Amino acid sequence: MGSPGLRLAVADWALSFDDRENVPEAVFEMECLICHAVSGPGDTGGESSQVWALKHTGRHPSHRVFKLITATFWRVDPMPSNPYADVTSTL
């Protein structure tokens, strides 16, 4: 049974890529699958993590297998019919 007084309502929301100013398109990291070392995050198209992987293999010649970890940023916004349409996000 649900909690007394709990009321659920349906509202329209939209999920979209977060293209606000100062939000990176993506953040990239590279993980060595041999020792699990991870590059620092970078948002330069993955170039800094690729350079890290090359340098890592240079220091550890048997470490040649990597996993690219990519994070993209999304947001949920209320549609015009949603009662929260006039409420601004805290971020």
Kindly report the pTM of this predicted structure.
0.71
Q: Is the pLDDT of residue 46 over 90?
A: no
- Please answer whether residues 20 and 70 qualify as being in contact, where contact means their C-beta atoms are separated by less than 8 angstroms: no
Quickly list H helices, the chain.
Answer: 47-59
What is the C-alpha to C-alpha distance for residues 50 and 14, in angstroms, rounded to an integer? 34
pLDDT tens digits for range 48-59:
999 999 999 999
pLDDT tens digits for range 67-83:
999 999 999 999 998 88
